[in-house]
Chains A and B, each alone.
Chain A
């Protein structure tokens, strides 16, 4: 009787331990892991004078920033940008890429509103929030919570420019 109780207790503990160890939040994924040619922001951004909104079409004016479709990649990549044959590996990778190479279901909950355009107009740079996404091409690894928003809206981000914005509940919540 005593041993069976102990075994039961150990089993329950094992379940909790397994839950703790195995149920992790998904690791951020580097985009292009499966693709022949991974996408690199550094090659597309400032280095060739493209603004973020060239591909993330909503980033400067709309609520959502959007991820580009393949058609938007091809807008530039199909054009004869330079004399010469182009890069064979890149052309074949683009030909094989799906219509929407990136898809993302926003993790913004339904009771929160976020508008990229408003932040842009207020002078917030994309990399103020999406620094890792841009620099390391990490996709889905950024953790935004209400504290991230409030730190900035209250004007208290150390080393950052002093943004102050509305902090009443209904400014962002519905």
Chain B
């Protein structure tokens, strides 16, 4: 039955589609294949989510080899949630992509873009479904390598140095990760996450495991771009093609956070994490990320770079939620994982549309765009409001949970910091709004047209999601709370 193989198909579909694009390098064909693959992934992901909801976690043994010899996939509520998020966002971005890619990537290389995109997707989905720590590394490398190449496709020559910078940092991160996995293997003799979780407690006190944990946190921190490991991110997001920025911002860092959650809560377990000095350092880094990221974003002249710094801040929010180690905090963190993906993809895509029309995303070049591209800029404003955390947008819901978590733990200064950082977000979004809506002569730039429908529809799909999930919060909160409870060791 093909249905029982659905967990592996989640990875295989994009993996098989990728080489097709190299063999038949026709732009339209590649796009169709890629879209078909991502939509199939989305369907599989949704099926998995529904199955996990109904029947609990799914385990799947590759080639019928049982763990610890074979590679096991294990899909629980959190993995399912991630696969839905990743495949949903990547589908929407693909719908948006043809014109943007046509403008930003030369015809000769367009098919390579789709190949890399699919490979990246394979890696990200693989990370989410695998139950094996080493296999996770393999998928991590697949997604990382393809993202370096994707960033390097940017028009600006600085994209090359940005990609190289990311390559160095990302490789260090991945190497740290594999060193840690090696150390854990040496102590326990297994790579399977479930087995690791069982055997680690015996050796938890050893120095080797502590060292492994340190390597893990720093290594994954590099991939997450957690302050102060964020150095690669601003350049990478700024110089990558618009759709790549949107894709990476919405999915890659989120999946890295997923790895952190897995390692902390599924491998080490909530009790061990609470006993070890992990939460406080993470919280402090998160607070720095939130405030410094937002503050630096205010001073950017390039709107994409502004969003990049804002991403660093938003990652801080997610990590902050995790560092509370409480159900409310973790729910807030996981919600923000999802919500931030919605906001940032909507925002980066609207900038993609702006770039498509005016060939620049310098804030000063956006004067009067509120009049010329009303729908695009309105989407930007809604996405920005969501970023600030205005009620009736998704941003409000996750911030609500984060602040509640802070107050429940009695850490009111953190609540103040979360709000202060929202204010900073208000300022950097307002800078764009003020220039786009209140500057520029009414007659200036009369030849600038609104973005084409093929761009507006995906943008507004994501923007609408920002509002929809901000009002109709039942499903997302239930899923996030279930995942948080599961991670903290409660019943599923």
A binds B: no
* A interface, CB within 8 angstroms of B: none
